[in-house]
Amino acid sequence: MSSNSLKSILFFSCLILVTGLNLTALAQAQDSGETVVNQSDISENEEPATRSLSESIDAQFGFIVESMATVLFWVPVQAVPIPLIVLILFCGSLFFTIYHNWLNIRGFKHAVDITRGRYDNPNDPGEISHFQALTSALSATVGLGNIAGVAVAIHAGGPGAVIWMMLIGLLGMTAKFNECTLAMVYRKVRPDGTVDGGPMHYLEIGLQERGFSFPVAKAFGLVFALFCIGGSFGGGNMFQANQATSAVRGMLGEAAGINWVFGCVLAFLVGLVIIGGIKRIGQVTEKIIPLMCGIYVLAGLVILVIHIKQVPDAAVLIVRSCVSPEAAYGGFIGVLVQGIRRAVFSNEAGVGSAAIAHAAAKTDEPVREGLVAMLGPFIDTVVICTMTALVVIVSGAYNTPEAGQGVEMTRWAFSETLSWFPTVLNISVFLFAYSTMISWSYYGEKAWQYIFGTTRTAIIVYRFIFLGFIILGAVASLDNVIEFSDLMILSMAFPNIIGGIILAPRVKALLKDYWRRYKDNEFTVYD
């Protein structure tokens, strides 16, 4: 490790420690009612002095989120309360699926073959194999969206929301194909072998090729980059920190200031990789993630096998609630919106984030990587989310108030059958959160570089802000964190889906040519 890395770690550790200790002390002081504000300043109408620092920050954060939501979650037709962005996501995914002639179904087997490495040429340009690119993208998507997000969807939208999650998961496969193919077409391969790609690049260059002026194309790229930075602070960071903290509270119990302390610890651990440059930690985490996924899915299957008699009833309940949803969940539209929001939040199809990771794949065939990317939403949503949903429903957690919400509900559902599982789940939650934060810090930094350049100062500023948001995420309430995370991540789809539709003819032409060569057996097989 270089001396610069050591200095960075030392400086950063001190900063986190000092900030954390001060904030913890302050939080504890306020939690215990010690005077931190002048008592004479408090009128009868104001919040009591016992309101903790965490709550104050959360309240202010909530106000900001609410203001942003009125703009970004604008409902165009009041009679049909579907936010515009949810409409764009659904219609966009449907468009890509029909336009690319149901590639999610006809290209599935070929996508699996590519991922298995049948067509991997080690001499192709790029950084990583198809399988590694899929693993990298999944490490950002598989995680709390699948564990906590499904519980949130069922809590807010009822069991019927699961159907909409699955549907958007299936349609989202082609949206993911479209964006990742574009990322490959317009990526920049540097002479040192590294790759720079993603929606900001294909929007800027691709739209100019389609006749748009530079300012318009650049505006698309900039808007995407801005929301991507927001997404890296929200869903890719605060939501993860929040739910990881919740998991720790589940293990260690409630204690004053635990959110602050754990937030600081988490920020420190992420900082070791993104500022300290200790790549070994990130490498180990990335390799553990598939194992944790396997354990999670296996445990879910065990529970479903034990409750096999209840599974048909759960399936019927899901379907029935989907077509005749209860008013408590906001009726048909409420369920639909919840299902789509949580599915997209989990698999990020149409959002454009995974395209940044897939752009690093070692291939000279853009369509090939697009096909690999298509498997992401299938694994994430159709398989893992559905399994979580079934466990939550067969265990009865979804209509048991003491089960809590978010990750707490899923933990309760698993522990009903496997009493030892919560510990494994808590470790999984921590590791999923950690790997997602590292992956998203990369996405966010790429977007940040697109706007602010690649100078050392610009990069280090982003990384420290990212760490600050981890602490904020640990102390804020789940509702506010989810709202902010949704706002940012879903809003990335505005420029990405609109731009993706404009550029879709290019993808279609590439797909047509690729598919003809594939059917004519023109590709070299390497296995």
Partner 1 sequence: MPLHVSTVVVPIDFSVASNGAIETALEIVDSPSQIHLIHVMLPLETMSPGVLLGDITDVSRTEKVTTALKDLADDHDADGAHIAVMIGTPGLEIADYAKRHKADLILIPSHGYHGMKRLFLGSVAERVLRHAPCRVLVLRRTDNQ
Q: Can you tell me which of 246, 410, 441, 496 binds partner 1, judged by CB under 8 A?
A: 441
- Distance, CA of 307 to CA of 312 (rounded, Å): 10
Torsion of CA 499, 174, 171, 103, to 10 degrees: 140
Looking at beta carbons only, is 125 or 331 nearer to partner 1?
125
- 226/261 with CB nearer partner 1: 226
Tell me the closest approach of the beta carbon of residue 115 to partner 1, in angstroms: 14
Kindly indicate which of the ranges 76-84, 108-116, 433-441, 497-505 contains the residues binding partner 1, using the contact rule CB under 8 A: 433-441
Query: 431 burial class (0-12, 13-18, 19+ CB within 10 angstroms)?
Result: buried
526/519 Cα distance (integer angstroms): 17
382 binds partner 1, rule: CB under 8 A: no
Site for partner 1 (CB under 8 A): which residue of 135, 141, 246, 338?
A: 135
- Give the count of residues interacting with partner 1 (CB under 8 A): 36
Considering only residues 4-63, where is the footprint of partner 1 by CB under 8 A?
none
Residue range at the interface with partner 1 (CB under 8 A); choices 22-30, 191-199, 404-412, 423-431: 191-199
Q: What is the 8-class DSSP label of residue 487?
A: H
- Binding residues among 353-372 for partner 1 as defined by CB under 8 A: 357, 360
Contacts (CB under 8 A) with partner 1, residues 266-325 = 273-274, 277-279, 282-283, 286
C-alpha to C-alpha distance for 228 and 451, rounded to whole angstroms: 11
Q: What is the DSSP string of 102-154?
A: SHHHHTHHHHHHHHTTTT--TTSSSSB-HHHHHHHHHHHHSSHIIIIIHHHHH
Q: How many CB atoms lie within 10 A of CB 42?
A: 12
Q: How far is the CB of 366 from partner 1 (least distance, A)?
A: 17
Output the smallest distance, CB 113 to partner 1, in A: 20
Residue 445 CB, nearest distance to partner 1 (Å)?
7
Alpha-carbon gap, residue 142 to 246, rounded angstroms: 18
Q: How far is the CB of 153 from partner 1 (least distance, A)?
A: 29
Which tokens hold the place of 304? 């479903």
Nearer to partner 1, 55 or 127 (CB): 127
Would you give the binding string for partner 1 spanning residues 234-273, x where CB under 8 A is met?
---------------------------------------x
Residue 129 vs residues 1, 123, 349, 370, 439: alpha-carbon distances, Å: 27, 11, 21, 13, 17
Q: 3-state secondary structure string, 191-259?
A: CCCCEECCHHHHHHHHHHHCCCCHHHHHHHHHHHHHHHHHHHHHHHHHHHHHHHHHHHHHHHCCCCCHH
For residue 441, the minimal CB distance to partner 1 (Å) is 5
Closer of 107 and 221 to partner 1 (Cβ):
221
Q: Which of 455, 505, 516, 517 binds partner 1 (CB under 8 A)?
A: 455
CB of 192 to partner 1, least distance (A): 4
Question: Minimum CB separation from partner 1 for residue 218, in Å?
Answer: 7
Contact 256, 31 (CB under 8 A): yes
Q: Pick the closer one to partner 1 by CB: 129 or 174.
A: 129
- SS3 state of residue 3: helix
- CA-based end-to-end distance of the chain: 38
The sign one gets for the Cα dihedral 275, 20, 485, 451 is: negative
The string of DSSP codes covering 56-69 is HHHHHHHHHHHHHH
Tell me whether residue 324 or residue 455 sits nearer to partner 1 (CB atom).
455
CA triplet 287, 384, 107: central angle to 5 degrees? 90
Structure tokens at 263: 């937030």
Choice from 218, 477, 501, 515 touching partner 1 (CB under 8 A)? 218
Assigned token pair, 501: 């539709």
CA distance 494 to 516: 32
Name the minimum Å distance from CB 191 to partner 1.
Answer: 5
Residues from 73 through 132 that contact partner 1 (CB under 8 A) = 127-129, 132
- Judged by CB under 8 A, the stretch of 54-62, 184-192, 316-324, 378-386 that binds partner 1 is 184-192
Rounded least distance, CB 244 to partner 1, Å? 17
Cα 199 from Cα 350, distance rounded (Å):
10
Instruction: Please state the closest distance from residue 446 (CB atom) to partner 1, in A.
Output: 9
Judged by CB under 8 A, the residue of 48, 211, 215, 401 near partner 1 is 215
442 in contact with partner 1 (CB under 8 A): yes
Nearer to partner 1, 379 or 407 (CB): 379
When asked if residue 184 is in the footprint of partner 1 (CB under 8 A), the reply is no
Closest CA to 68 of 82, 83, 57, 80: 83
311 burial type by CB count under 10 A (0-12 exposed, 13-18 middle, 19+ buried): middle
Query: What is the closest distance, in whole angstroms, from the C-beta atom of residue 133 to partner 1 in the complex?
Result: 7
If the CB atoms of residues 139 and 388 are measured against partner 1, the closer one turns out to be: 139
Minimum distance between the CB of residue 357 and partner 1, rounded to whole angstroms? Answer: 5
Q: Contact positions toward partner 1, by CB under 8 A?
A: 127-129, 132-133, 135-136, 190-195, 214-215, 218, 273-274, 277-279, 282-283, 286, 357, 360, 438-439, 441-442, 445, 453-456, 459
